[in-house]
Amino acid sequence: MISPVLKGCGIWLLFVPLGILNGGLREKVLNPLLGQRVALPLSGVTLGILIVAVTALLIPSLGVLRPSRYWLVGGGWLVMTVFFEFFFGRCVMGHSWAKLLEAYNVLTGNLWVVVLLVIAAAPYLAARLRGLG
Of 16, 37, 42, the closest CA to residue 119 belongs to 16
Q: Whole domain around residue 14: which residue ranges?
A: 4-130
pTM recorded for the entire structure: 0.92
Q: Over the range 87-125, which residues count as b (16 or more CB within 10 Å of their CB) and which as e?
A: eebeeeeebeeeeeeebeeeeeebbbeebbebbbbbbbb
Total residue length of the chain: 133
pLDDT value of position 125: 96
CA–CA separation, 90 and 26 (whole Å): 21
pLDDT in 10s for each residue of the chain, 133 residues: 678 889 999 999 999 999 999 999 999 999 999 999 999 999 999 999 999 999 999 999 998 999 999 999 999 999 999 999 999 999 999 999 999 999 999 998 899 999 999 999 999 999 999 998 6
64: DSSP letter: S
pLDDT value of position 16: 94
Tally of structural domains, the chain: 1
